[in-house]
Amino acid sequence: MTALKNYLARFLIRLRMKNFPVVSISVPADFYKITGVLICLPPGQRELTMIKNLLPQLQHLFSGLQLTLLASPESSIFSIFPRRGLNILAPSKNHHNWAGLPKSAWLETLKKEKFEMILDFNLTPNYFVQGILLNFPSAIRVGIANQLGHPFYNLEVKTRYYRDEKNIYKSLIETLDRLFHPQNTADETANN
């Protein structure tokens, strides 16, 4: 049954990608227009714990912006992340279809939030997140590079780490920090 669900999800994703518009971005100019960021979290408890440890860096990186964490459907995110002080969306069974893609009503709820950036922390294919990425063509969609056949991102961050998840996440945040705050990078270069 799982193989059938995966096949159907991949088919529907490919179908939606046919009409997906290619939107270019300007770095760092488009970063200054961002007011809302959606961070798509992976489903695994180990990965969630790693990202929780990097949360202060994320909050510093996106300080002053509306930051929303999106859990994978039916994951137990509230046992790891605190409920206070964070905007956390935890979709349930009612928010995705049989194949695992987000339902139209859930997507309309997300679109009302007007996220200008979507940061995907999933290192393996997540059809729920891919369905969301395909419904925000004008957003800056950031993900890890080296995933052939996944053109959901318009900004891919390449890292030298292949299996060390903690360093992959950390390098993604550090790269975004350099792009968001190029003046800090210039200051560091001048001091060295």
Question: Which is higher by pLDDT, 186 or 118?
Answer: 118
Q: What's the CATH code of the domain at 58?
A: 3.40.50.2000
Per-residue model confidence (pLDDT) at position 151: 67
179 lies in a domain? Answer: yes
Across 31-42, average pLDDT:
93
Q: What are the φ and ψ backbone dihedral angles of 18, each rounded to 5 degrees?
A: -60, -35
Question: Is the pLDDT reported for residue 62 higher than 80?
Answer: yes
Q: How many domains does the chain have?
A: 1
Q: What is the pLDDT of residue 150?
A: 60
Residues 40-59 have a mean pLDDT of 91
Q: What's the pLDDT at 39?
A: 96
In a domain, 156, yes or no: yes
Question: Domain for residue 14, yes or no?
Answer: no
Residue with tokens 């859990």: 71
- Kindly state the helix (H) or strand (E) to which residue 58 belongs, with its residue range: helix 55-61
User: What confidence tier does 17 reach under pLDDT thresholds 50, 70, 90?
Assistant: confident
10 lies in a domain? no
Structural domain boundaries enclosing 57: 23-191
Q: How confident is the model at residue 121 (pLDDT cuts 50, 70, 90)?
A: very high
* 28 confidence band (pLDDT: 50, 70, 90): confident
Structural domain contains residue 122 = yes
